[in-house]
Structure formats: structure tokens, C-alpha cells
Amino acid sequence: MAQMIMMISREVRLVPLDFSWPLNKVWKGYKRSCGNDECDDENCQDCKPIEPPQGNCFQLWETVSEGSPVSPVFETKEELATWLSTTKREHDITNSLSYEDWLKVFEDKCPVVDMHTLKYLEK
């Protein structure tokens, strides 16, 4: 299992720098071992679930549904924190977090957020 940092139905996944799954598109996560690359049957007995490829770069994913990337891939947590704090995403409850807030989350110094006030709750 890839290393992940959890927060408000979001997680940071470690993926390769060249991972190019479209943003906001659900990762179905099925390997088409049935031989039909167009197979869209999630109940197909020959299709096995797989995780996104693992790497050493950082990408934010939503985990409310099946999961989908919501940020580009970055080489460092600092680059991801910059992007997350300066790019507003439609209907994203984390839009109010600052660069410093994201770094605290990444360092696991601030892992819990009150959903009503978005105030940090210390461990």
C-alpha cells in the first residue's frame, strides 16, 4: 500500500512524476486481465482491482467516491502545498487552507480538521 496522508476525504498519494491520469476522473482501478481493454464491467471476474502506480512524487486525491486525483503531480510536498494554497478548486472544502496549513498537514502536526469551522484540532 502506498504511503498516504489523510485529511477531510483527501489523501496525498506517492505516484510517479509522469503519472497522467486526468484530474477529477474516477480511478476505476481495474486491470483488464480478461483480455478486453474496453471491458467496463466492474463485476467481471477476470478484472482485478489495482492501485495507481507508486512513485516518489506527490499528488492530492479525493476519497469521497472511488477516488480521483485533484491536483497535478509534484516532485516535492512544498510544490504541492504551493499549488493547493494558490489554486482554488470548485466546491473544495480545503480551499481556505494556506501554504503553512498544508505543510502542517503533510508533517502530521495537524491531522484533524473540524468540518464546521475548519479549525485545527491538535493531537
What would you report as the CA-atom Rg of the chain, rounded to the nearest whole angstrom?
16
Q: What is the pLDDT of residues 62-75, one digit of tens each?
A: 877 678 898 999 99
Count of structural domains within the chain = 1
Q: Which domain holds residue 98?
A: 4-121
| Mean pLDDT for the chain overall | 75
How does 99-120 read in b/e, with b if 16+ C-beta sit within 10 Å?
A: eebbbbbbeeebeebeeeeeee
Mean pLDDT in residue range 19-24: 90
What pLDDT is stored for residue 34 in this prediction? 64
The pTM assigned to this predicted structure is 0.71
